[in-house]
A and B are shown apart, each in its own frame.
Chain A
């Protein structure tokens, strides 16, 4: 029994602070991360959520980073709920996690998204590509020009007459991010619920930074 408790505490330490694994259930990050891909992410970067609260992180989100975020609408779990969720993940080898699978059983609680805008940025979208004017700069550049890593996006087309303010139009009016506000978007611009819908996200909602895709083996590599 003592050994089991020790193993559980070690598991809690590693999975809660250092490394977590996630299985991608949607195509919201296609073509970068596909449905069924599995990744390793570290909560350490932006401050792990532990049973005793959120600890400070050592990094700031950077342009182009892929991050795990709690949805803005997700309810924060209490101590006992987190403990129960940890226990379930431990005994089911990460297969069951009520906290990660949804809120009210209707919406996902955690999503994988890309950091497109940083605090102070001005950001807008034309034809599914974000144009960003960083704070202090006088010109807009595309998200690809500003990102620290290359990536591609995917999208589906709506009819030509589809109004720009409607979802899936590929357009977004200018938005200026405030202090500690980040703009996140999925790479699959037609099938991602992100800051276009939920608004900017504060770093307190960041759960982990994606590091590596380990499944499928042929796609193994850094993200």
Chain B
């Protein structure tokens, strides 16, 4: 049995200061067919709406930063929605406020600052403002380079616009990441196409050629309530074998191009990983501001505090009253930590885990680690941290991550009694 180095429930109020900031901008020009996220859709936003959104988001970010003791931010990520859809004055205001918050008035900008953009709203004006305020990286929603697939996804841009946006961003000197979607269906009534397992890889190659040094390839999930769910009956989806083959060929190609799979859905050359997302996977504290954003703050006791912001823009000015706060108790926080770590090729940081939870991972999931030995390797060093030498899933293991996590969870149901009672 292990005993933690720190106390239990009484220390809930001690926050581990966050060094990562997420800003959510829930606006879209139109709804994509696969999306069920809350967002306000309009081809252009009214000045009043933008003003309210930006001012309330900045104000809330400042309050959260103060409450949780943030001393500037190492990483910033502006996601959505489509942040690049904001008008240039609104974007200027938003980025100016974030720059102040990230630097804490010292003038030192965040080490990594990513902004999401869609190909149809990323122009030179957006890039100029972004660079001036300290943005270092742009993540562009390419999704596909096939006109038919883009139509099924309800995307507003074509392949040329997507490649053009990648080139424009890369030429501006920013790091560029491209999002692609795997497992896109074809129209059932169209002449049945032979499934092209190389298609995804070819999109990745073109994106890389156009300037992307990082790729995020997400499997298409059909959310109930999304337009795509309603059209499901008239579409043909790739089966599991086809999807697996496409992913395998993608990985082989990217390997040849020097990009390795460092997380279930992410590929980059060493040194080009997304530091902000790495902070999530390492379960570091982070602040999320903007309608629908989430903050997760590690507590000195090892547990976590999760703050979910109100989703509606109309409620957001009053976020302090409308946010939902949940304590994640120690065993649940420990499982979340395992769950996130095994998404990555860095794996479980043993020293951090022991320090935070006061228990050896072997005491919690030792049997699972033995059973899964053939699917495990020694984890790579986490970016910017000392090498931990902890276990990580191989790429083939990542393909069946959920099965592995199911085994971890089942074992933890038996072993979580190892947490000393006062740590609960």
A159 touches B48 (CB 8 A): no
B315 touches A26 (CB 8 A): yes
Residue of B nearest to A71 (CB): B48
B48 touches A107 (CB 8 A): yes
Name the distance in Å between A29's Cβ and chain B's nearest Cβ.
11
A197 touches B314 (CB 8 A): no
B49 touches A162 (CB 8 A): no
> Is A98 at the interface (CB under 8 A from chain B)?
no
User: Secondary structure at chain B's binding surface: helix, strand, loop or mixed?
Assistant: helix
Cross-interface CB contact of A106 among B62, B67, B101, B313, cutoff 8 Å: B313
B62 touches A162 (CB 8 A): yes
> Is A27 at the interface (CB under 8 A from chain B)?
yes
Q: How far is the CA of A129 from the CA of B193 in the complex (A)?
A: 68
Name the distance in Å between A191's Cβ and chain B's nearest Cβ.
5
Cross-interface CB contact of A166 among B100, B318, B319, cutoff 8 Å: B100
A contact residues around B106 at 8 Å (CB): 161
Cross-interface CB contact of B321 among A35, A161, A166, A193, cutoff 8 Å: A35
Residue of A nearest to B63 (CB): A156
> Is B154 at the interface (CB under 8 A from chain A)?
no
Given contacts A159-B104, A193-B56, 16 further A-B contacts (CB under 8 A): A26-B318, A35-B321, A105-B314, A106-B40, A107-B314, A159-B62, A161-B104, A162-B62, A163-B105, A166-B59, A166-B96, A166-B97, A166-B100, A168-B60, A193-B52, A197-B52
Residue of B nearest to A188 (CB): B318
> Is B51 at the interface (CB under 8 A from chain A)?
yes
Cross-interface CB contact of A168 among B40, B58, B315, cutoff 8 Å: B58
Give chain B's interface residues, CB within 8 Å of chain A: 40, 46-49, 51-52, 55-56, 58-60, 62-63, 65-67, 70, 96-97, 100-101, 103-106, 312-315, 317-321
A159 touches B65 (CB 8 A): yes
Residue of B nearest to A28 (CB): B318
B317 touches A191 (CB 8 A): yes
B66 touches A190 (CB 8 A): no
> Is A157 at the interface (CB under 8 A from chain B)?
yes
> Is A49 at the interface (CB under 8 A from chain B)?
no
> Is A97 at the interface (CB under 8 A from chain B)?
no
Q: How far is the CA of A167 from the CA of B61 in the complex (A)?
A: 10
Name the distance in Å between B320's Cβ and chain A's nearest Cβ.
6
Q: How far is the CA of A72 from the CA of B47 in the complex (A)?
A: 11
Q: How far is the CA of A106 from the CA of B53 in the complex (A)?
A: 10
Q: Per-position contact with B for A145-184: 1 when CB-CB < 8 Å, else 0?
A: 0000000000011111111001111000000000000000
Name the distance in Å between B340's Cβ and chain A's nearest Cβ.
28
A102 touches B318 (CB 8 A): no
Could you give 12 example pairs across A and B, Cβ below 8 Å? A35-B321, A73-B46, A105-B314, A106-B49, A106-B312, A158-B65, A162-B105, A163-B100, A191-B317, A191-B320, A193-B55, A197-B52
Name the distance in Å between A193's Cβ and chain B's nearest Cβ.
5
Cross-interface CB contact of B313 among A35, A107, A197, cutoff 8 Å: A107
Cross-interface CB contact of B100 among A28, A156, A162, cutoff 8 Å: A162
A191 touches B321 (CB 8 A): yes
Residue of A nearest to B320 (CB): A191
Name the distance in Å between A152's Cβ and chain B's nearest Cβ.
17
A contact residues around B317 at 8 Å (CB): 26, 28, 191-193
Within 8 A of B (CB), among A78-123: 102, 104-108
B100 touches A191 (CB 8 A): no
Name the distance in Å between A37's Cβ and chain B's nearest Cβ.
13
A106 touches B321 (CB 8 A): no
A contact residues around B320 at 8 Å (CB): 27, 156, 190-191
Q: How far is the CA of A167 from the CA of B90 in the complex (A)?
A: 13
A contact residues around B101 at 8 Å (CB): 159, 162
Q: How far is the CA of A163 from the CA of B312 in the complex (A)?
A: 27
Q: How far is the CA of A71 from the CA of B49 in the complex (A)?
A: 12
List the 5 shortest-distance A-B pairs measured between CB atoms, nearest first: A161-B105, A73-B48, A168-B59, A158-B62, A26-B318
B contact residues around A197 at 8 Å (CB): 51-52, 55
B314 touches A158 (CB 8 A): no
Give the most central of B47, B105, B313, B321: most A CB within 10 Å.
Answer: B321
Residue of B nearest to A102 (CB): B314
Q: How far is the CA of A19 from the CA of B372 in the complex (A)?
A: 72
B319 touches A191 (CB 8 A): yes
Residue of B nearest to A160 (CB): B105
Residue of B nearest to A72 (CB): B48
B contact residues around A106 at 8 Å (CB): 40, 49, 312-314
Q: Per-position contact with B for A178-205: 1 when CB-CB < 8 Å, else 0?
A: 0000000000101111000110000000
B58 touches A166 (CB 8 A): yes
Q: How far is the CA of A197 from the CA of B59 in the complex (A)?
A: 12
Known contacts: A161-B105, A167-B58, A168-B58. The answer to whether A107 contacts B318 by CB under 8 A is no
B56 touches A167 (CB 8 A): yes
B contact residues around A73 at 8 Å (CB): 46-49
B contact residues around A107 at 8 Å (CB): 48-49, 52, 313-314
Residue of B nearest to A103 (CB): B48
Q: How far is the CA of A159 from the CA of B68 in the complex (A)?
A: 10
Residue of A nearest to B97 (CB): A166
Within 8 A of B (CB), among A4-48: 26-28, 35
B contact residues around A193 at 8 Å (CB): 52, 55-56, 317
Within 8 A of B (CB), among A59-73: 71-73
Name the distance in Å between A196's Cβ and chain B's nearest Cβ.
9
A contact residues around B65 at 8 Å (CB): 158-159
Name the distance in Å between A184's Cβ and chain B's nearest Cβ.
14
